[in-house]
Structure formats: C-alpha cells, structure tokens
Amino acid sequence: MNITIICDVLGSETNGTTIAATNLIKYLSKYHNVKVLCADQEKKGKQNYYVVPNLSLGIFDKIIEKNNVTLAKPDINIIKESLKDAEHVHILLPFALGRKSLKVIKEMGLSTTAGFHCQAENFSSHFRLQNFMLFNKAIYKNFYNRFYKYIDAIHYPSEFIKNDFESFVKHKTNAYVISNGVNSNITKQVVNKPEELKDKIVILSTGRLAVEKAQNVLIKAIKYSKYKNKIQLIFAGQGPLENKYKRLAKKLPIYPIFKLYSREEMSDILNMSDMYIHPANIELEGIACLEAICAGKLVIVSDSKRSATQNFAVSQKCVFKHNNPKDLARVIDYFIEHPEEKKIFEEKYFQMAEQFNQEKCMKQMENMIIEVNKQKKEQKI
C-alpha cells in the first residue's frame, strides 16, 4: 500500500510524538511504500521525505525551542506532492500541517487515520493554565471540530486518553486503542552499578523536565526520606524547567544526575536502577513508565486522574498522592525497608511487559490502516 505519514513534529528522538512517528515509519516502510511529510530540515533531500518550512510563532518560539521541537509551516505544493499516488494517510497531530493537509486529503477521497498524541494540558501548561478546565475543554473542542471529526479513525495510545477526549467533546469516535509500544532493546537483564553508585540507592525518573511531569515533587520527596543520604536520583531527560530543577536539587545531600541518554543507553540505566518513579500529574500514555515495566523495575506512580500511568500500578502500595512529596517519601521508604515485597512487585510488573512489545503494537497499527482503508473503499462502492 502507498501510505503518507504527516508529522507536524519530527526531529531528534527526545519527545514521545517523534519517537512514536519514527517507530511507525520504520515498521511500515518494511512492508509498504511510505512517504513522510514533515518540517525536519535534516530530512531534506532524503528519499521519500517531503519537507516543508518551519513555522514561527514569534514570541512563543522560545517556549517551543525549550521543548526540543519545531513546528511545520504548511506548503500546499509540497503537501500535494507527498500525497501523489497515496492510498492512505496517517496524521500524527491536529496542528497546522495536519489540518491543511486534511483539506487536500478529503478532496482526494483518501482514507485517513490520525494519532492522538497531545493532551490539552501539554499545550495549556506552557501558560500555567493546565488546571483551568474550561481552557482545556476549549482546546479539545477545537481539536475535534476542526480536525478529528473529519478523520475516519483515531489511534489512541491508551484507553485513558480515549475516554478523556470523548468525555470532553461529548462524542464517541471510531477508536483504536493501541500502545505506542516499547522497543525490544529495553528488557530485563543484569546490569551492575558503576563503582561510584554501588553504595547508593538509585532512583530513576525519565521524561521531559516540564511542569506537568512534576519532577519537583520527587526532588522534594527525597528531603523527607529517612534514606536521603543514600539516594542517588537520576533524571533522564531535558526540558524547559531543567535549570529550575537543578537549583531545587542543590538542597539534597546527594546531587541528582541530570542527563539525556541515548535510546541504547537507557536499557542499562533502567536495569541498574533500584526503582523507577513517574511523578507526572498529566500523562497521555507514559512510554518511559512502560519501559521501566519492561525492564522489570518497581514502578511508583502518582494517583493523578489526568495521568494514564495510574492504571499501570500493580498495587495501591505503588501509588502516592499526586503533588504530595511526603506521601511519595513514605512509599519510597516502604520499599527500601521491604526488599522481598519489592521483588514480588517487580515480577508482577515484568509479567505485563509482553502487551507493550513494540513489534506487536506496530502490527496492530498496520492492521488499523488496512482495515480503515478497506472500509473506505467499500463505502465508495
């Protein structure tokens, strides 16, 4: 099949949407003719890549840059070129490039699927409005009325985000709930700590350093832990609040490690860690959390109702009250003091790993595309 994938955001693999897009492109390219429409200037001249200019939002460019993304400025001629001979189109985001392309796609009568990779709070948090529900509702209404209502089927990475979106817009959608999956290089294995960490309790947290990810709660929690003089935090990621969190962390007895690791390095980092903590208040799926599960780690998550990761906990003992550092410290200390119970929960987490196998998840994505394309053709008969 000739498939065009449209990515408003694509570049280095430092955000979930880019990673999801890259994985899908790689998988589908093994079995189909795939074209990619994006604004990643490094892809210019590369076969089957159609590159539009970058979009400038003026005073907001600094915010976008801090999140390690660039946005796409639609070019109708490049859009049409990328859609030439296409049988199906998959759009990653409901932004400018996806919306402009959708008008052409509908004129051509092509079958179309779209991913749901952006929570309203991912946008509103930049303006400190993540807790203003009317604003979040307006964003979702805009997404639906200007984009998703015209899509043949929607890919949701989690049941949580499907239910969240549909409840806000008051509409059922043609939904396919499929995890973005975890790469097979992330697996459970024995990795020894380096010499300088051998006498430390290593706690890992992975993700963009941003307000909705709430890494500040984890930093503050260590101050309340009985074992604060032995805990080595590792924050694997970058983001707009990196400098702020580094200043906050100066108050800890052991200064955390802040570093963006390669995809290849992450398996070792996960496996040498003693536990994984995902403090996010807002999370659409939480691939970083799923990676920890696939490495057989003890995973501790917040009870935030706006985070999909609460649904991964194998026990309420692995859950803390969101935005509550003292309660998180309580959970951390409990598992430090109960190593045998920790091992039991680690095994329970690891038993969940198979359902997040990336190859299987990408196969489900391919099946979705084939099914929706077939339905579209039958409607025309």
In a domain, 189, yes or no: no
In this predicted structure, what is the pLDDT of residue 337?
A: 98
pLDDT of residue 71: 79
Look up residue 310 and give its two tokens: 């609460």
pLDDT averaged over the chain? 92
Q: What is the pLDDT of residues 177-204, one digit of tens each?
A: 999 999 888 999 999 999 999 999 999 9
> Could you tell me if residue 186 is inside a domain?
no
3-state secondary structure of 245: helix
pLDDT tens digits, 199-257: 999 999 999 899 999 999 999 999 999 999 999 999 999 998 999 999 999 999 999 99
Our count of domains for the chain comes to: 2
Same domain for 130 and 26? Answer: yes
Give pLDDT, residue 283: 93
E strand or H helix at 154, and its extent?
A: strand 153-156
Q: Same structural domain for residues 229 and 305?
A: yes
- Measured CA to CA, the distance from residue 205 to residue 194 in angstroms comes to 18
Q: Contact, 154 vs 114, CB < 8 A?
A: yes
Least Cα distance to 366 among 225, 178, 220, 202 occurs for: 178
Asked if residue 69 is part of any domain, the answer here is yes
Q: Is residue 187 part of a domain?
A: no
Residues 323 and 374 in one domain: no
Does residue 190 belong to any structural domain of this protein?
no
- Whether pLDDT at 48 is above 70: yes
Per the structure, the complete domain to which residue 14 belongs is given by 2-181+357-380
pLDDT at residue 175 tops 60: yes
pLDDT tens for each residue of 255-291: 999 999 988 899 999 999 999 999 999 999 999 999 9
Hey, which residues does 34 pair with through a beta bridge? 3
The CA distance from 24 to 117, in Å, is: 13
Return the H-helix or E-strand segment holding 202: strand 201-206
> Which residues lie closer than 8 Å to 261 by C-beta, 6 or more apart?
236, 269
Q: Does 127 share its domain with 216?
A: no
User: Does 73 share its domain with 150?
Assistant: yes
- pLDDT tens by residue, 135-171: 889 999 999 999 999 999 999 999 999 999 999 999 9
Q: State whether 163 and 261 are in the same domain.
A: no
8 A C-beta contact, residue 249 and residue 219: yes
347 lies in the same domain as 362: no
Task: Report the CATH number at residue 102.
Answer: 3.40.50.2000
Q: What pLDDT, in 10s, does the model give residues 329-360?
A: 999 999 999 999 999 999 999 999 999 999 99
Instruction: Please list, residue by residue across 163-200, b when 16 or more beta carbons sit within 10 angstroms of its beta carbon and e when fewer do.
Output: ebbbebbeeebebbbbbbbbbeebbbeeeeeeeebeeb
User: What are the angstrom distances between the C-alpha of 89 and each of 174, 229, 325?
Assistant: 16, 53, 45
From the centroid of its chain, how far is CA 349? 19
Q: Are 199 and 305 members of one domain?
A: yes
Domain match, 246 and 161 both: no
Q: Tell whether 133 is covered by a domain.
A: yes
Q: Answer yes or no: do 105 and 232 share one domain.
A: no
Same-domain check for residues 83 and 122: yes
Q: What is the pLDDT of residues 1-32, one digit of tens each?
A: 999 999 998 876 667 788 889 999 999 999 99
> Which of 1-15, 33-47, 84-98, 153-167 shows the lowest mean pLDDT across its residues?
1-15
> Residue 131's pLDDT is what?
67
Which structure tokens are listed for 176? 């396919």
- 168 lies in the same domain as 309: no
Sequence-separated (6 or more) residues with CB below 8 Å from residue 161? 116, 119, 284, 285, 308
Dihedral, CA of residue 298, residue 233, residue 279 and residue 92, to nearest 10: -90
